Amino acid sequence: MKDNGRESKGPRKSFLYYYVMILLITMLLNIFLFPSLLDRTQEVRYDQFEQQLEEGNVEEVYVTTNDEVIFTLRDSQWVNYKTGLVPGVNLYEELKAAGVEAYAAETPTQASPLLEFFLTWILPLIFFVGVGQLLSRTMMKRMGGPNAMTFGKSNAKIYAESETGITFADVAGQEEAKDALKEIVDFLHNPNRYAEIGATLPKGALLVGPPGTGKTLLARAVAGEAHVPFFSISGSEFVEMFVGMGAAKVRDLFKQAAEKAPCIVFIDEIDTIGKKRDGAGGIGGNDEREQTLNQLLTEMDGFDSRKGVVILAATNRPESLDKALLRPGRFDRRIPVELPDLKGREAILRVHARKVLMDETVDFNTIARATSGASGAELANIVNEAALRAVRMGRRTVCQSDLEESVETVIAGYQRKDAGVSKNEKKIVSYHEIGHALVAALQSHSAPVHKITIVPRTSGALGYTMQVESDQRFLMSRDEAFNKIVTLTGGRAAEELIFHSVTTGASNDIEQATKIARAMVTRYGMSEQFGMVALETVNNAYLGGDASLACSEETAARVDEEVVAMVKEAYQKAKQILSGHEEKLHELAAYLLDKETITGEEFMEILNREGAREA
Ligand code: ADP
Ligand code: MG
Ligand code: ZN
């Protein structure tokens, strides 16, 4: 996404700049190559002068104060000739004899001294300053933007923005995070009020949450709201090839910040330097990281927060942070920035839709319901993809189908029309997708389908069923979780029921079903055999959430059995549901095969046509 705050000068201004530069260069070249343009005086010997005088060619003669004789000729008036006075020669007599007018002291039609000074001194100066600036500008651009600065010995890329231009209005949802940050904004506005009472604000706040939820955005919004400069650096920038550089960078950063206080210092991806120190050291990079971290801790301690420097940091793996960082007086405030809920998703879509022309068919609520689990960054991407699609289609506004198509694009990849899927394969995919949808629709607890398609995707998916939640759910009952597994197995069940064979197309379904079943047994206490015992611990909740076993090997084996049994049971249920509605399965699959993409309404209409039996 484009960062509004960091845009450099407009194209028109820089065009003018280049134009002037080229003009100056041409002028200078002229002067260097053809000096006669500037100084049109040519030196000659005295006898040559005398000869011209005798021949009557000389028009005017000037004698300067330092005894130089300057004369012009009748036929070449644009050139001055110069010669010296020869002792013993009476110039005046000679001139009189030749009948030439003579003037004393003044130099004829020479370039004015002011102009001369300008051309020889000022112009080259302007030229070199200009070239220097041009060079440094291109260098900076190459180093990552006009605001990248290099400090001291280290070449840390510290981005300094005097005004981010981002406000809380640009951050949709995340109300709790905003509330927590408002206090910091207030503090930066009037630090005296806090100092008078004797309150010290936390030195740092840590924004914690999955990628793309707006942590960086929030940090910049704090600076924007408080109208203070924003220094940002990414944790990975600290980790350098040479030992000691990281620590130097930290020092530079804090020195700069202290000069510009009040301001915000933002350390993105702090986990890269803030990882737990394990003491082992050993392999090169570790030592360097530790030094950097120690320097950071030292700087934070030695820092007077009353001066008005607030340190924000962001991470998506808080559990791996060194405890020393989280201690009071350092990042003692922890602000969760979670994935948006239904309301939040709708708000984020609206924020990003402000910049895009939308027509009246657009229904953000439906899109928000279809994107359960999507992050703010993904939603921003969906709006942008929709706008791109509208342009491709030659429309002037974005309509609902653009948004729906881009939801699929972002979630499942681009359509691949040339995928070369055979007729028979398409038929299998149709049954598979209808299998999912039918099982979902016939179980009361499952979310209704919104759209089914068998257009292949670049992600490799051959079909895709878009589900929408009817409203925001925070809890899932055991039945609901189980029904979800049943729906996931519905695709494979339909394949087996109709074709009496199975395909590889269900691998993703299997993976998801297993994940849910496993979580039910090991984390949600939803199995009869184990009850409420935590058998697994989640490692990094914000990044996929892989779990590690927290039980004995025997128990682990029994957990596996339980998971297998649960998925098997779900599969049987799906098959049972489908065999009870085989006619509908055929009818719907044939319809989908024909249309390739059908909506939830079309699906429900066919399903309810002659009173479907309840499952
Ligand atoms: P993070 O730092 O948490 O990984 P970012 O702050 O970089 O995420 O967010 C990436 C982009 O996603 C932002 O530039 C913004 O366009 C969009 N975005 C994320 N969350 C929100 C939100 N709550 N409101 C509006 N836009 C958001
Ligand atoms: Mg970020
Ligand atoms: Zn499937």
Tell me the per-residue pLDDT of 445-466, one tens digit each, with 9 for 90 and over: 555 687 888 887 766 677 777 7
The per-residue pLDDT for range 590-599, each reduced to its tens digit, is 999 988 888 8
Q: Write out the DSSP string of 538-556.
A: ES-TTTT--EEE-S-HHHH
Is pLDDT of 141 > 60? no
As annotated, the residues of the chain forming the CATH 3.30.720.210 domain(s) are 40-110
As annotated, the residues of the chain forming the CATH 3.40.50.300 domain(s) are 157-336
Residues 6+ apart with CB under 8 A from 136: none
Give the active site residue among 161, 290, 433, 495.
433
As annotated, the residues of the chain forming the CATH 1.10.8.60 domain(s) are 342-411
Place of tokens 């699929």: 408
Rounded mean pLDDT, 18-43: 69
Give the CATH architecture of domain 40-110.
Answer: 2-Layer Sandwich (3.30)
Is pLDDT of 328 > 50? yes
Question: In the structure encoding, which two tokens stand for residue 99, read together?
Answer: 């009948």
At residue 582, the pLDDT reads 92
Residue with CA at minimum distance from ligand 1 atom 17? 377
Residue with CA at minimum distance from ligand 1 atom 7? 216
CB of 208 shorter than 6 A to ligand 1: no
Least confident span in 155-169, 294-308, 338-352:
155-169
Residue scoring higher pLDDT (511 or 92): 511
Edge-to-edge, what's the strand order for the sheet holding 449-453? 464-467, 449-453, 597-599
Residue with CA at minimum distance from ligand 1 atom 9? 214
Is pLDDT of 536 > 70? yes
Beta-strand relationship, 58-64 and 41-43: unpaired
CB of 171 shorter than 6 A to ligand 1: yes
Query: Which ligand has the shortest distance to the CA of 375?
Result: 1
Q: Is residue 433 among the annotated active site residues?
A: yes
Rounded mean pLDDT, 101-111: 58
Residues 6+ apart with CB under 8 A from 527: 520, 521, 562, 566
Residue with CA at minimum distance from ligand 1 atom 25? 171
| Four-way CATH pick for 157-336: 1.10.357.10, 3.40.50.300, 3.40.309.10, 3.30.830.10 | 3.40.50.300
CB of 212 shorter than 6 A to ligand 1: yes
At residue 151, the pLDDT reads 42
Residue scoring higher pLDDT (157 or 168): 168
pLDDT band at 36 (very low <50, low <70, confident <90, very high): low
Q: Which long-range contacts (CB under 8 A, 24 or more apart) does 405-411 make?
A: 406/381, 406/382, 407/367, 407/370, 407/371, 407/382, 407/466, 408/451, 408/453, 408/457, 408/464, 408/466, 409/382, 409/385, 410/374, 410/378, 410/381, 410/382, 410/385, 411/371, 411/374
- Check if CATH label 1.10.8.60 holds for domain 342-411: yes
- Mean pLDDT score of the chain, rounded to an integer? 80
- Dihedral angle at the C-alpha atoms of 141, 143, 147, 149, nearest 10 degrees? -140
CB of 246 shorter than 6 A to ligand 1: no
As annotated, the residues of the chain forming the CATH 1.20.58.760 domain(s) are 423-610
Q: ∠264-268-269 over CA atoms, to 5°? A: 155
Does residue 441 contact residue 449 with C-beta atoms inside 8 Å? Answer: yes
Least confident span in 36-45, 484-493, 509-518:
36-45
CB of 173 shorter than 6 A to ligand 1: yes
Atom of ligand 1 nearest to the CA of 172: 24
The per-residue pLDDT for range 567-588, each reduced to its tens digit, is 999 999 999 999 999 999 999 9
Q: Tell me, which fold does domain 423-610 have in CATH?
A: Methane Monooxygenase Hydroxylase; Chain G, domain 1 (1.20.58)
Residues 6+ apart with CB under 8 A from 79: 40, 41, 42, 72, 73
Atom of ligand 1 nearest to the CA of 337: 3
Rounded mean pLDDT, 395-412: 87
